[in-house]
Amino acid sequence: MLSKTIYERILSIFFALALFFGSCLPAAAAESPLNVSEVVPLGTYQSVSFFSNGLAVTQNEQYQYGVINSLGAVVIPFGEYSLISSFSDGVAVVYNSESLCGVIDTDGVLIVPFGKYYWIDSFSDGVAWVSNKDGKYGVINKTGELVIEYGKYELFSLGKIEGRMVHGSAFSEGYACILRYHENELQSSLIDKTGTVIIPFGMYSTIGTFNDGRSRVVKGDFISEDNEDSRVGVIDTTGTLIVPLGTYDEISHFSDGLAIVRSSEDCGVIDIHGALIVPFGAYRSINPFRAGSAVVRDEGGKYGRIDIAGQLIIPFGEYDRPPEGIATVQNDEAQYGVIDSEGNILIPFGRYDYISSFNDNAAYVLRGDDIWEWFDTGDGDVQYGVIALVSDMLFEQPSTNDEPPEIARQPSLDDETSEIARQPSLGDEPIDTIEHGMTTENPPENNSDLTVADDNSFPTVPVAIGVGVVVIIGICGFVLIRKR
């Protein structure tokens, strides 16, 4: 029989093996409480728009329009309307087979009958611009009632100036900007929902959308490339200047009560009173604040996140770009995946060839031979699908606003008013990032946004089983020694 000393040596070997295999196991990643799943299989629809108000416009194999929710259920049947715009402010503009426009709510109920108006813009702040066949413009509410009569303002009558469409902005916080070109000078006026003039023409070249009771205004020539004479400032809803013209070289729109400002080559952050919250030079670039925080970048190009007090809450370099809630990201091989705010992988990299940004906790996905060629030319075979957050937290995450690439290729009505409706408003484009030289930093396309290592490269299950067997044998040996 074996001596006790030999048993002890065998036991030591078993424990050494257990320690060795245990050290080979990678640290277990924290399991995310979120679950992102494919709710619309690839190839189900010919196209899927970006989600808005929890809904997306889709097309079936016959290229008929319908609407699905963020769980993939059809809420407006295909073929009921010849064209459906994206939902905005809880409603959408639709066209019938006679090319007459109307308005539906999220239940598909027609709330503005077909043919009442020749053209209807997207709703915002409970109202929308409309026109009649004579080219006169007015404003309606969601019941279809005119709240600003036809002809009071010639909103779109100016056409294009130096290649850019000139028109007024959508309503926001009860106010809208209208524009005119008077005596070779672009002028803006601010009106409320009754059509009352708050700021007359001539004071500013442009008046931006109101956010947090503040609007960015510009005085001077801003259309041409040589716009060194233009000055920017901030007003409140009474038209009072909160930040005088020329105080800063550039000012973004307000978000979360804060705006990004630039002076010379440095950027900072001001509050709604014009007080400097984040001093100039603290960061190389600053993104808009959302849900109480903002992504910033240091001089070395590393990303971090600050709160509304300007304090760093995610250190530089912890992520290539810190996500907000659920985020679409790319790894170092330019593959798309989805992670949560802790960096946990919700959709593995490479499962889809393209994943859009999340809005209303849903995103469309694409798979095809050459996605980027398809984006550029529309040629190729691409399949659409939808992924969404499936958990108790549905509809609680903040959303972003971006435009899906496929919208430009959707069939549309070939009339002048439809083309005008798709033109951007001047002076109303939010600045995503203020950086050295006042550049706008857009979401990445075919490059890495967030680099995350693949954690599926180690065979953890077989190793775990082996370690378990070794430990059990070791325990048995220890028991035998004790009995001897």
Half-sphere exposure of 366 (CA within 13 A, CB side): 25
Res. 185: pLDDT tops 90: no
Q: Between 4-24 and 460-483, two packed helices, what is the crossing angle to 10 degrees?
A: 160
pLDDT band for 40, please (50, 70, 90 cuts): very high
- What whole-number distance in Å separates Cα of residue 179 and Cα of residue 129? 14
- CA dihedral 52→54→57→61, nearest 10 degrees, is 150
- Alpha-carbon gap, residue 293 to 147, rounded angstroms: 38
Q: Is 367 left (phi over 0), alpha (psi -120 to 50) or beta?
A: beta
The model's pLDDT over 273-289, given as tens digits with 9 standing for 90+, comes to 999 999 998 999 998 88
% of the chain surpassing 70 pLDDT: 67
Q: From CA 289, how far away is CA 48, in angstroms rounded?
A: 29
| Alpha carbons 138 and 473: distance in angstroms, whole number | 84
Q: What does the alpha-carbon distance between residue 181 and residue 155 come to, in Å, rounded to a whole number?
A: 11
The overall pTM is greater than 0.75? no
Query: Binning pLDDT at 50, 70 and 90, where does residue 459 land?
Result: very low
Length of the chain, in residues: 484
137-184: pLDDT as tens digits: 889 999 999 999 888 776 543 344 444 444 567 899 999 888 877 777
Segment among 50-59, 256-265, 303-312, 375-384 with least mean pLDDT: 375-384
The pLDDT tens digits for 221-256 are 654 444 556 789 999 999 999 999 999 999 999 999
Q: Residue range 303-316: average pLDDT?
A: 84
Taking residue 185's Cβ as centre, other Cβ atoms within 10 Å add up to 12
- Residue 329 pairs in a beta bridge with 337
Instruction: Identify any residues that bridge with 261 across adjacent strands, giving them in sequence order.
Output: 251, 268
In contact, 217 and 206? CB cutoff 8 Å: yes
Q: Provide the strand spans (E) within 253-342.
A: 258-263, 266-271, 276-278, 285-286, 293-297, 303-307, 312-314, 327-330, 336-339
Q: Spell out the residues 6+ positions from residue 269 whose beta carbon is closer than 8 angstroms to its own.
A: 258, 259, 260, 261, 276, 277, 278, 286, 289, 294, 310
pLDDT digits (tens, 9 = 90+) for 66-119: 999 998 999 999 999 999 999 999 999 999 999 999 999 999 999 999 999 999
Tokens 């970048």 belong to residue: 297
For the chain, give me the number of helices (H) and strands (E)? 4, 36
Sheet holding 241-248, edge to edge: 206-207, 215-219, 231-235, 241-248
Report the alpha-carbon distance of residue 481 to residue 434 in Å, rounded.
71
Q: Chain-wide mean pLDDT for the chain?
A: 75
Mean pLDDT of 27-44: 77
More confident residue, 141 or 424: 141
1-15, 156-170, 383-397, 449-463 — which is least confidently predicted?
449-463
pLDDT score recorded for residue 229: 63
Q: How far apart are CA 479 and CA 166, in angstroms?
A: 87
Task: Identify the pLDDT of residue 187.
Answer: 83
Q: Can you give the pLDDT at residue 56?
A: 95
Token pair in block for residue 431: 């600045």
Using the 8-state DSSP alphabet, how is residue 406 labeled?
G
Residue 245 makes CB contacts below 8 A (sequence gap 6+) with: 217, 219, 231, 232, 233
Q: In terms of Cα–Cα distance, which of 336, 370, 341 is closest to 354? A: 336
Report domain 27-457's class.
mainly beta
Listed residue (456, 441, 442) closest to 350, CA to CA: 456
Can you give the residue ranges of every domain in the chain?
A: 1-26+458-484, 27-457
Instruction: For residue 31, give the DSSP letter.
Output: P
What pLDDT shows up at residue 113?
96
Q: What is the pLDDT of residue 142?
A: 94
Choice between 325 and 7, residue whose per-residue pLDDT is larger: 325
pLDDT in tens, 45-64: 999 999 999 999 999 999 99
The pLDDT value given to residue 293: 84
Number of other CB atoms surrounding residue 403 within 10 Å: 11
Q: State the Cα–Cα distance between residues 88 and 123, nearest whole angstrom.
A: 6
pLDDT value, residue 117: 96
CA–CA distances in Å: residue 84 to residues 46, 90, 194, 318, 380: 15, 13, 29, 43, 25
